[in-house]
Structure 1
Amino acid sequence: MTWLNLPNLPTPLKALFAGYLLVIGVGLCMAGLQIMLTHGMADGKLGLSKDDIVYSYYGNRNDTTIESKLNGSMKDKAPAEVKLEIIKWAREGAPEDQWEPHFKGVFAQHCVMCHGNIPGIPNFNNYEDVKKVAAINEGASLQNLTRVSHIHLFGIAFIFFFMAFIFSFAVNVPLWLKTLAIAMPFAFLILDVLSWWLTKLYPGFAWLTIIGGVGYSVASTFMWVTSMYQMFILSRNGKVYGNAWERDLKSSDK
């Protein structure tokens, strides 16, 4: 099967592979933007830094959770005077006798449109939920880390598997480089998720999160660009290539 390579794939298969890669490419860009607007704002400044990762997973042990959020990713969700009022109340221990007469209405006006309608985040209609986020910021909870970790591992692994499967049909890529590019995203994905748990224990491990994210981003970008180039640019030279997997098997036997 001399067509079993990216340049010489039948047009329907090229359309299938290209459609998947385009959607995944846009999805990964949106994921990066979402990270910048959530974790990237943990320290109140746009752009992902070591402090953002520390605040997200280890926490800012000098502030309450709600104060960190109001000075970070939730910075634009309420007027300055309202934020200061909530922060002061939280620092005083969020006394319950001030909830019903005043702060319940404040949260209803500025917060419950999200924190009351979106599953999985604290419900600010209830004092008990507000009290929890008014405590010292210890970062992500173990329950949240477990939930996000298994979703991340299962979901991203499927993305990398199908991207690597398409890339495995590439030609003119040394076997060692192709193998490394296919394996790297999975290795860095494990490092990324593991780093969340390590950072929860000790903030110095936050650098591993950055290394993991950069590592699988570089590897997946290389596979994406190579695959699209070979299907639509390299294929125009009219050359017929041999079976990509067969060539790799012969290279591995040498």
Structure 2
Amino acid sequence: MREGTWLNLPSLSLPIKSLFTGYLLVAGLGLLMAGAQIMLTHGMADGKFGLSVDDIVYSYYGNREGSKLEAKLNGSMKDKATPQENFTLIKWARNGASEEEWKTTIKPIVEAKCAMCHANIPSLPNITKYEVMKERAKVDEGASVSSLTRVSHIHLFGISFIFFFIGLIFSMAIGFKYWVKALLIFTPFAFLIVDIASWWLTKINPNFAYFVIIGGFGYSLASTVMILTSLWQMWITPIRGGHSEENTWRDG
């Protein structure tokens, strides 16, 4: 048992509780939306809804039995064209993606079914251009090194800020042993590193795909525990030590 002096969640003033609650609710909703986005992108890499090891392998290592174009047409883009049009595009890619067939057969399909998004949204590849489409028709080797570098640094900087503030709020929780609280606060950061590192390792060896799922599940679970505990203690747990914002308590 140790004595510690620090703000505790039950005794915070109403404005501070409102501030923390707003942040936790928005951050929690953001994590849910991130999970939904993963389901709708990576989760469709194998053509089936729901995240699986195959989805992770196809996303980072690639499906080296086919092209990126084929993977998309069998996955998240499957319903954007008719089955016959999808078959025509896949056959064209498998036969070497000739420019002549592109002009006569493939480009009209792309302009009719794909251009609405791919020619107008800057974040999407403009596959109405033959050079861009030809790259998508090559054997799928998964995420490129440049895209992994870009997404990795965005996730490491952005998500670590989310975990920092969730952990800071949770550090004011009561009723936890110090080592348990410290472990919970550190856990999301550790699993985030595992998650990002596994992207790169899966790019080299598909067997590391399991660690991507473990990393994502680990930091999501730890964050959920801290968010729910913080909300419970701010609004349900009785105030300790009066209404002062700074109290001394025995941290069990």
- Shorter-chain TM-score bucket reads over 0.9
The alignment's TM-score, normalised by the length of structure 2, stands at 0.93
Distance 1:200 1:13 in 2: 44
Distance 1:245 1:91 in 2: 69
Q: How many residue pairs are counted as aligned between the two chains?
A: 248
- 2:54 is equivalent to residue 37 of structure 1: no
TM-superposed CA distance for 1:120, in Å, is: 3.1
Alignment-derived partner of residue 221 in structure 2? 218
Alignment-derived partner of residue 173 in structure 1? 176
| Mapping for residues 40-119 of structure 1, pairs under 5 Å | 40-119=43-122
Inter-CA distance 244–133: structure 2 relative to 1 (3 Å threshold): farther
Counterpart of 2:49 in structure 1: which amino acid?
Answer: L
Distance 2:226 2:218 in 1: 13
Structure number with the bigger relative contact order (C-alpha 8 A, sep ≥ 6) is 2
Deviations along 1:85-118, whole A, 9 cap, x unmatched?
Answer: 1001111111001122232111011111221122
Q: State the 4+ residue runs in structure 1 displaced beyond 3 angstroms.
A: 241-248
Structure 2: unaligned runs, 5 residues or longer = none
Alignment-derived partner of residue 198 in structure 2? 195
Inter-CA distance 116–185: structure 2 relative to 1 (3 Å threshold): same
Distance 1:245 1:98 in 2: 75
Question: For 1:187, what is the secondary structure of its paired residue?
Answer: helix
Deviations along 1:63-93, whole A, 9 cap, x unmatched?
Answer: 1110011101211111111100100111111
- 2:124 is equivalent to residue 134 of structure 1: no
Return 139-148 or 98-107, whichever deviates more.
98-107
Q: Is the 8 A contact 2:27 2:162 kept in 1?
A: yes
Distance 2:178 2:230 in 1: 15
Distance 1:2 1:9 in 2: 14
Q: Is the 8 A contact 2:12 2:245 kept in 1?
A: no
- 2:235 is equivalent to residue 239 of structure 1: no
Q: Is the 8 A contact 2:6 2:247 kept in 1?
A: no
The alignment's TM-score, normalised by the length of structure 1, stands at 0.92
Distance 1:137 1:3 in 2: 53
TM-superposed CA distance for 1:245, in Å, is: 8.9
- Cα RMSD (Å) of the superposition? 2.0
Distance 2:160 2:217 in 1: 16
Alignment-derived partner of residue 16 in structure 2? 13
Structure 1: unaligned runs, 5 residues or longer = none
Distance 2:48 2:107 in 1: 29
Alignment-derived partner of residue 24 in structure 1? 27
Q: Is the 8 A contact 1:168 1:244 kept in 2?
A: no
Distance 2:204 2:106 in 1: 34
Distance 1:238 1:9 in 2: 9
